[in-house]
Amino acid sequence: MNLLAQLLNGLQYGLLLFLIASGLTLVFGVLGVINLAHGSLFMVGAYLAYVIAKTTGALWLALPAGLIGGIMLGAGLERFLFRHFYHREHLDQVLLTFALILLFEEGRSFLLGNDFHSVPVPALFDFSIPVAPGFSYSAYRFFVIGCCLALGAALYLWIERTRMGAIIRAAAEKPEMVDVIGIDARRVHMVVFAIGTALAVIAGALAAPLYSVYPGIGDGFLIISFVVVVIGGLGSVSGAFWSALLIGMVDTLGKAYMPAVAGLAIYVLMAAVLLVRPSGLFGQRA
Amino acid sequence: MNEQTRLLPHSRLGWLLLAALLACLVAAPHFVSIYHTELITTAMIAAMLALSLQLLVGGTGLVSLGHGAFYGLAAYVVYLISPEAAARPIWQTLPAAMLVAGLAALLVGSLSLRTKGFFFLMVTLAFGQMIFFVFHDTKLGGGTDGAYLGKPLIQAFGASLDLPRRQRPLGPYYVALIQLTLMYVGLALLMRSLFGRILEGIRANEHRMRAIGFDTYRYKLTTFVIAGMLAGASGHMWAMHRGFVNPELISWHKSAEALLMILLGGLGSLAGPIVGALAYTALGEFSQLVTERKLLVEGLVILAVVLVLPRGLTGLARRRKAAELGPDG
Amino acid sequence: MDDARGSALLETRNLCRSFGGVSATRDVSIRLAPGELHAVIGPNGAGKSTLVNLLSGELAPSSGTVHLAGEDVTRLPVHARVKHGIARSFQRTNIFKDMTALENVRLAAQAVHATPGSLFRSAWRARDLVSRAQTALARAGLEDRSAAIAGTLSHGAQRQLEIAMTLATSPKVLLLDEPLAGMGQEEGLRISALLKALSKDHAILLIEHDMDFVFKVADWMTVLVEGAVLAEGTPDAVRTNAAVRRAYLGAQR
């Protein structure tokens, strides 16, 4: 039964990574910007959940607050900063977003201090669901799995079934397309950035009760999301999905069964993918 | 037939300014306190790191976020091979640190250089963090807390620089200055060589370089390894100077800081990273006088540089000169 | 008929390439003889540039082979093919704009002629490479522009620089992708004289839209339509070929 628990943990972790990585890969693919501060957005969500749980006791509020707050934060960042960096060198983008990380961390430290805080699981989900004889699994983790799947499905429908989604798919394949079609590229950019931000914030809010909140929490998730994007292929949301599940499983099972070397497992996986298919396992470009 | 090399000074005045900077650094310890002597040593070590990264960024057009890992790794090598009670001679520690950093760069580079652009950034960052986690999560080098070197003395051929207390910082200071100078001269010669012209071609138009017959991957990898070894020399000097290692040295924030120094000093010259490192260190000192929130100042400065000064401090000087000389200057 | 043209220097056998199910090159077998000026023509989208990319190594074929002087070079990357003697120019001018014309050409000479041991010599002192570069520049008619920054040259001179860069690698085969693109009449005449002269000691494969020019200079022609060879032969034979007239020449008028 331990294996089943680990598989479920891996699924939950992978889906959480997908929420973060899908935003990253969309922003890369459509806007052509590398956002190192994507991990800070995750941190914002985690601390948002912590503050809401502490002040109101109603953690569920973190989800709508994360969605609305994330969209507003993303739209604001796009409008006032990122918009001016689409055509700048990678180096400028790296330093701009690195500066954002420092400012987000400093803001967090100023407002909430530098301590480690645990966030209680919401009372509604504070029980276990029997899955198999003699084995039950945390209801909250099931809730996280459900939330991620629902958001992933919404993202899929948005990209595959809407007009803006078609533009996004075209733009991810040929970035110059958006300008050529003559649609309002600015609006597309802002919406994509806002949605990517909201996904990262929500992922942080969902993760808070599982991983607690602490300074630099975004950094670790950022790096692993990069690995997810590299393996998944640039600009490919479906690639990010499968790659996130793969990484989630490898990391979780590795830590459970081979703790001594598990930290390296995902990097070895990334190295192997780079050897065989440098453009990513699930990327379209051969 | 006198071609100019892009990253080197374009006028006699430029070379004179560089010589003046060197003279200032040679003389400085005799005019400033011990504290400031040590501070300048730290700045020169940062300058070595930024200069080694400049070979990739300004020289070849490769923005790596894993460069700090080779620096930190080399510092750890010094710790790991130094016995508890004695100092190991520098002619053993320096080559060892550079060799290990170079081997790590060979491994990381051979994989990451298969990618380009954003992918290269992400992959170098991820591999850098892998090295970080090796030291962060294991007891190899004191874990998260780091470790102190038993006797961080610079020693060669049995003679150590065992100076009286008042003069003790002078040893590391001048060793760092000599290394920094050698690194600048070495890189200047490299950029002027046929090899340097290849890097310049790759930076400008890699596709065309392949089409005229260059195996660009091989040259990029060689450069990545050279830069990694030079970062190793810088990390070695850090361990010698501070006598202390911790995982923070390996973190990708180190790479980002070095990139900032490059941008602050100016992307278009080899002197830029040195000026940038000195300015950045000075800035850190001033900001401590004003506020305890170092990251806040750092973040705001980066924003200001990226938004207002995209060509850096040395870029300012060049722009003024260009304005004086007209479009052909 | 092919045997009359002597042994092939560059040869493709059943070359195919598709992009996501769409065939850009279908079963192309062509031969390029030494000293021959071989023009490949065809309407837009016929796969001419794809063919050049397959020959230069920028694209790998889906199937089929490329042979240079009898040696299979299908699997060699671009840079290795240059060392075997295949050099190309680009349809859209592709030079190092911030370097001098001489430096552009010297880099090309360096790619093939620099010995590994000389790599760390000062670039200023590499006399042998500089003189090779000057020879190539002179051959392309740019001897008096060698100190000019490439980006400031006229369009025509930049096209000549492209050719000088390919010459500096001492190629056996020149692949020229629309060398006349965007040129005025006078510049065009200069290039066509240059090509005629070059064809004496190089095998040249040429892609060009200017039909008057092509029929005037080519020794041999291949007509591509939808990625496949429709016809080949001497300019006279192609001019009178009924299928070509129907599919291509007629359609243009």
B216 contact C CB<8A: yes
Residue entry with tokens 């397309």:
A177
Q: Residues C146-165: what's their mean pLDDT? A: 90
Q: For residue C36, is pLDDT > 60?
A: yes
- Nearest by CB: B197 against C58, C97, C123: C123
Task: Assess contact for B111 and B66: CB atoms under 8 A.
Answer: no
B302 contact A CB<8A: yes
Residue entry with tokens 């000192």:
B285
Our CA-based measurement puts residue A12 at a distance from the nearest CA of chain B, in whole angstroms, of: 22
- Nearest by CB: B130 against A90, A96, A267: A267
ipTM of the complex: 0.88
Q: Residues B86-113: what's their mean pLDDT? A: 92
Q: B202: nearest CA in chain C?
A: C96
> What pairing do the DSSP bridges indicate for beta strands C203-207 and C173-177?
parallel
Cβ <8 Å between A91 and B260: no
Could you tell me the pLDDT band of residue B12, with boundaries at 50, 70 and 90?
confident
Q: B57: nearest CA in chain A?
A: A91
Share of chain C above pLDDT 90, in %: 36
Q: For residue B268, is pLDDT > 90?
A: no
Tell whether the torsion through CA atoms of A60, A63, A66 and A69 is positive or negative. Answer: negative
Cβ <8 Å between B310 and A106: no
| Of the candidate ranges A213-217, B102-106, B152-156, B210-214, the one whose mean pLDDT is the lowest | B152-156
Cβ <8 Å between A106 and B293: yes
> What pairing do the DSSP bridges indicate for beta strands C63-68 and C10-19?
antiparallel
- If one counts every other C-beta atom within 10 angstroms of the C-beta of residue B16, the result is 11
Share of chain A above pLDDT 90, in %: 40
C110 contact B CB<8A: yes
Q: Name the neighbours of B, counting chains with at least 3 Cβ pairs within 8 A.
A: A, C
Comparing C182 with B166, the larger pLDDT belongs to C182
B2 contact C CB<8A: yes
3-state secondary structure labels for all residues of B248-302? HHCCHHHHHHHHHHHHHHCCCCCHHHHHHHHHHHHHHHHHHHHCCCHHHHHHHHH
Comparing C250 with B138, the larger pLDDT belongs to B138
Q: Which fold has domain C2-85+171-252?
A: Rossmann fold (3.40.50)
CB contacts of B213 in chain C (<8 Å) are 78-79, 82-83, 87, 108, 111-112, 169
Give dist(CA B69, CA B132) in Å, integer: 7
Q: For residue C125, is pLDDT > 60?
A: yes
Cβ <8 Å between B197 and C108: no
B57 contact A CB<8A: yes
User: Which of C200, C142, C133 lies closest to C168 in space, CA to CA?
Assistant: C133
Q: For residue B317, is pLDDT > 80?
A: no
Stretch 245-264 of chain A: residues touching chain B, C-beta under 8 Å: 263-264
- pLDDT tens digits, one per residue of B21-47: 999 999 988 899 889 999 999 999 999
Q: For residue C141, is pLDDT > 80?
A: yes
Tell whether the torsion through CA atoms of B135, B138, B142 and B145 is positive or negative. Answer: positive
Residue entry with tokens 């830069």:
B227
How many residue pairs bridge chain A and chain B with CB atoms within 8 Å of each other?
110
Q: Residues C221-230: what's their mean pLDDT? A: 88
- pLDDT score of B270: 93
- pLDDT score of B327: 40
Could you tell me the pLDDT band of residue C68, with boundaries at 50, 70 and 90?
very high
C203, C208, C210, C216 alpha-carbon torsion, rounded to 10° = 10
How many residue pairs bridge chain B and chain C with CB atoms within 8 Å of each other?
91
Task: Assess contact for C214 and C221: CB atoms under 8 A.
Answer: yes
Give dist(CA B191, CA B204) in Å, integer: 14
Comparing A177 with B244, the larger pLDDT belongs to B244
Q: Name the neighbours of A, counting chains with at least 3 Cβ pairs within 8 A.
A: B
| Of the candidate ranges A99-108, B247-256, C116-125, C192-201, the one whose mean pLDDT is the lowest | C116-125
- pLDDT score of B1: 38
Task: Assess contact for B178 and B171: CB atoms under 8 A.
Answer: no
Q: Which of C78, C84, C94 has the highest number of chain B CBs within 10 A, making it the mutation to test binding with B?
A: C78
Amino acid identity at B116? K
- pLDDT score of C203: 92
Q: What is the mean pLDDT of chain B?
A: 86
Q: For residue A172, is pLDDT > 80?
A: no
Our CA-based measurement puts residue B116 at a distance from the nearest CA of chain C, in whole angstroms, of: 17
User: Which of A269, A264, A193, A261 lies closest to A28 in space, CA to CA?
Assistant: A193
Cβ <8 Å between C83 and B195: no
For residue B310, CA distances in Å to A93, A216, B322, B328 come to: 11, 28, 16, 22
Cβ <8 Å between C112 and B213: yes
- pLDDT score of B170: 83
- pLDDT score of C107: 93
B27 contact C CB<8A: no
Cβ <8 Å between C95 and B208: yes
Q: For residue A285, is pLDDT > 50?
A: no
Six-digit token pair at A22? 């899908």
- Show the CA angle centred on residue C136, arms to residues C135 and C141, nearest 5°: 95
A274 contact B CB<8A: yes
Q: What is the mean pLDDT of chain C?
A: 86
Q: What is the mean pLDDT of chain A?
A: 86
Six-digit token pair at C110? 């360096």
Task: Give me the numbers of helices (H) and strands (E) for chain A, helices first please.
Answer: 11, 2
Amino acid identity at C105? V
Q: Note the pTM of the prediction, 2 decimals.
A: 0.90
Q: B311: nearest CA in chain A?
A: A92
Q: Which of A17, A77, A86, A106 has the highest number of chain B CBs within 10 A, making it the mutation to test binding with B?
A: A106
Give dist(CA A172, CA C6) in Å, integer: 50
Give dist(CA A16, CA A19) in Å, integer: 5
- pLDDT score of C213: 84
Q: For residue C42, is pLDDT > 50?
A: yes
- Beta strands (DSSP E) in chain A are 128-132, 135-138
Q: CB-based contacts of A131: which residues, under 8 Å, 6+ apart?
A: A4, A8, A137
Cβ <8 Å between B193 and C119: yes
C130 contact B CB<8A: yes
For residue C41, CA distances in Å to C4, C13, C91, C208 come to: 22, 19, 14, 6
Q: Residues C14-21: what's their mean pLDDT? A: 84
The secondary structure of A35-49 as a DSSP string is -TTHHHHHHHHHHHH
- Nearest by CB: C79 against B1, B201, B214: B214
User: Which of A84, A152, A125 lies closest to A210 in space, CA to CA?
Assistant: A125
Q: C105: nearest CA in chain B?
A: B212
For residue B194, CA distances in Å to B177, B206, C166 come to: 28, 16, 19
- pLDDT tens digits, one per residue of A41-91: 999 999 999 999 888 878 888 889 999 999 999 999 999 888 888 888 888
CB contacts of B262 in chain A (<8 Å) are 91
CB contacts of A271 in chain B (<8 Å) are 111, 127
User: Which of B59, B45, B52 lies closest to B230 in space, CA to CA?
Assistant: B52
- pLDDT tens digits, one per residue of B44-81: 999 999 999 999 999 999 999 999 999 999 999 999 98
| Domain residue ranges of chain B, discontinuous segments joined by + | 31-250
For residue B71, CA distances in Å to B106, B327, C165 come to: 14, 41, 40
C165: left (phi over 0), alpha (psi -120 to 50) or beta: alpha
Cβ <8 Å between C169 and B212: yes
Our CA-based measurement puts residue A100 at a distance from the nearest CA of chain B, in whole angstroms, of: 7
| Of the candidate ranges C10-19, C112-121, C213-222, the one whose mean pLDDT is the lowest | C112-121
B204 contact A CB<8A: no
Q: A234: nearest CA in chain B?
A: B119
- pLDDT score of A182: 57
C148: Cα within 13 Å, side-chain hemisphere: 13
Give dist(CA C79, CA C83) in Å, integer: 7
Give dist(CA B282, CA A155) in Å, integer: 48
B319 contact C CB<8A: no
Kindly give the residue spans of alpha helices, DSSP state H, lying in B90-215.
Answer: 90-112, 117-137, 170-192, 194-211
- Nearest by CB: A106 against B126, B263, B295: B295
| Domain residue ranges of chain C, discontinuous segments joined by + | 2-85+171-252, 98-170
- Nearest by CB: C119 against B189, B194, B211: B194
Task: Assess contact for C68 and C13: CB atoms under 8 A.
Answer: no
Task: Assess contact for C191 and C158: CB atoms under 8 A.
Answer: no
Cβ <8 Å between B118 and A90: yes
> What pairing do the DSSP bridges indicate for beta strands C22-28 and C10-19?
antiparallel
Q: Residues B151-168: what's their mean pLDDT? A: 62
- If one counts every other C-beta atom within 10 angstroms of the C-beta of residue C40, the result is 28
Q: For residue C249, is pLDDT > 60?
A: no
Q: B212: nearest CA in chain C?
A: C108
Q: For residue B328, is pLDDT > 60?
A: no
Our CA-based measurement puts residue C247 at a distance from the nearest CA of chain B, in whole angstroms, of: 34
Q: Residues C145-154: what's their mean pLDDT? A: 90
For residue B111, CA distances in Å to A265, B56, B120, B180 come to: 16, 16, 9, 29
- pLDDT score of C253: 43
CB contacts of C169 in chain B (<8 Å) are 212-213
Q: For residue C19, is pLDDT > 50?
A: yes
Could you tell me the pLDDT band of residue B315, with boundaries at 50, 70 and 90?
low
Residue entry with tokens 């930049």:
C158
Our CA-based measurement puts residue B49 at a distance from the nearest CA of chain A, in whole angstroms, of: 17
Six-digit token pair at A189? 């950019």
Q: Residues B274-293: what's their mean pLDDT? A: 87
CB contacts of B201 in chain C (<8 Å) are 96, 99, 107
